[in-house]
Amino acid sequence: MPSGNFVLAGRDAASTKVVVLYAGDDPGAGHVTELDLTVSNLPLGAGTFEARRYEVSEATWSAGQGVKLVQTETSLSGGSYASSVRFGPGPGAGRVIVWELAAP
């Protein structure tokens, strides 16, 4: 992972929700950041779960747009989750991305 980027993950006490947070710097002019997230052994039980992805970039924050829900997936199963995200190039492309994986 590039310098200036980090990932933090946790779950609630009842094991009904897992949250993964990524924070990354602007990749710079002419560069793109590609993220591939894989979460295995989810503690959400044998049923289905939902995934929601929220994002806020430096540019949207400074424009007063705040955090946006950008993707929702429902009826997922199998105990694991994978997602890919690309962002940049350009000024203000640094961002925080939050994945929320939860039982419906």
pLDDT, one tens digit per residue, over 10-36 is 999 999 999 999 998 888 888 888 889
Q: What's the CATH fold of domain 6-102?
A: Immunoglobulin-like (2.60.40)
Give CA–CA dist 59/103, Å, rounded. Answer: 32
Q: What is the pLDDT of residue 2?
A: 64
Kindly report whether the peptide bond that precedes residue 89 is cis, defined as omega within 30 degrees of 0.
yes
Residue 50 has pLDDT above 70, yes or no: yes
pTM of the model: 0.89
